[in-house]
Amino acid sequence: MKVLFFTYYWPPSGKASLHLPLKIIKYFPDFEIEPIVVTVKNDGFSRRDESLLREVSPSLPVFKTKVLEPFGIYKKFLGKKDDDELVPSETISKENKSLRHRISVWIRMNLFIPDARVGWYPFAVKKGKELIKQFNPDAIITLGPPHSTHLIGLRLSKKFRLPHIPLFIDPWVDIVYYAGFKRNFITLAFDNYLEKQVLLNSRKVMFVTETMKSDYLKKFPALDSKSHILYWGYSEDEFSGFASTSPPEETIVHAGNIFDYQNPPNLWKEIKKLNDNNRKINLKFIGTVSPLIRKEIEDNGLGNVTSYLGFLPYKQMLAELHRASYLLVCASEKRHLPGKLFEYLRVGKPVLAFGDDNKEVEQILLKANAGMIFGYNDDVSPFFSATDRFHTNYEVIKNFDRKQSTAFFSQLLKEIR
């Protein structure tokens, strides 16, 4: 069986949302699925991780197309140089009150529908038409965000009468980073229309959390018989060769981007209190950290115990997780099951999670005996009193191995032939 797989991100992009599709595509041939990949030539936003190129089989057909990205114009508008880095956590930060920033956010929220990567659509559709004629695939898979990728699948599915399977890593119209920003009613109406067209046309729909699936079923009951869960998971083959160590001083590590809306103010206060009482807890961040959170850390006098490592290649990131005492994860909302959580579970260090009303994260941590979750404004002192009792149950977490997920996905694909 052949599938045409559209993913905006591809090695050497270091984008975190690349890891799930990369592994699925890698494992597909083990289950008699032949993937053909379509991606962009140049992703001008995410950092590069050259090590991920080793995950791509030389025999895998990968086709890269042109893309129109607005980020060059965006940089000039903000007065940045062409080689200046764009930091995701800063692009939608509410701490930046400058007129240029506020205008750029309004443009992003209201003029790019469904998102700023929609400039890939014409090039990907054209390439898709060529590849369908060349390879005669049995189905089309699209990965979003960016959700504009799903529009590519919709167009090709209708033209060639091929089954379309969209994979949703995050919600579409009400994705969390829209919260608190104003979108005009025309934008919202059109975005809702596009989302509905994709979902109703789909043969099957894959969601990475049970909560997201349930939320979509309330909105579109017709999806009930064709919706499935494909947890983000982790890849067992990435964890060989690592030894779990304990640092000389307690260290909390957060991996991934952390935004203003993921700020746990009482955590910084608790660390400050513990450190003032000679416990000495350090903070370490891998990835980008929003201006608000940096300010909170400084305001609590934690600057001297905080390290900002920036972007790290994947293997180096895993090494840092193994050297941590505790692992910090911040869910965006109740439908969000952070991808890093599964890697944290596999590492086996106590997990300190934040997320308001996030029952799915809570249940996974409880079942695996891996840590605790708090609301963003909760008192977090119970975690630091209980760290010795967390001993991760690997019999629970091995069910999240991406090879098992790929086997499940492959079976679903074969059912639509």
Residue 89, SS3 per DSSP: helix
The tokens for 69 are 């990205």
Residue extents of the structural domains in the chain: 2-70+112-233+402-415, 236-397
> Residue 106: its pLDDT value, please?
64
Rounded average pLDDT over 200-211: 96
Q: What is the pTM of this model?
A: 0.85
Strands 371-374 and 326-330: unpaired
Top pLDDT among 96 and 356 is at 356
**Overall average pLDDT of the 141-157 stretch:** 97
pLDDT of 310 strictly over 80: yes
Among 115-119, 148-152, 180-184, name the one with the lowest average pLDDT.
180-184
pLDDT at 185: 84
Residues 80-85: what's their mean pLDDT?
Answer: 58
Q: Is 370 helix (H, G, I), strand (E, B) or coil?
A: coil
User: Are the beta carbons of 15 and 46 closer than 8 angstroms?
Assistant: yes
What pLDDT score was predicted for residue 178? 61
| pLDDT for res 93 | 58
Q: Is residue 61 pLDDT above 90, yes or no?
A: yes
Which of 93-102, 173-182, 190-199 is predicted with the least confidence, judged by mean pLDDT? Answer: 93-102
Specify the pLDDT at position 371.
97
CB 255 within 8 A of CB 317: yes
Mean pLDDT, the chain, rounded, equals 90
Assigned token pair, 257: 């981007």
Rounded CA-CA distance 108/91 in Å is 10
The two three-digit tokens of residue 21, written as one number: 């599709």
Q: pLDDT digits over 106-136, tens only?
A: 667 666 788 888 999 999 999 999 999 999 9
Q: Does domain 2-70+112-233+402-415 have CATH number 3.40.50.150?
A: no
Q: Could you please state the CATH topology (level 3) that the domain comprising 236-397 is classified under.
A: Rossmann fold (3.40.50)
Task: Quote the tokens at residue 77.
Answer: 């508008």
Given this chain, do its domains 2-70+112-233+402-415 and 236-397 carry the same CATH topology?
yes
Task: Collapse the DSSP code of 33 into the 3-class scheme (helix H, G, I; strand E, B; otherwise coil) and give the result.
Answer: coil
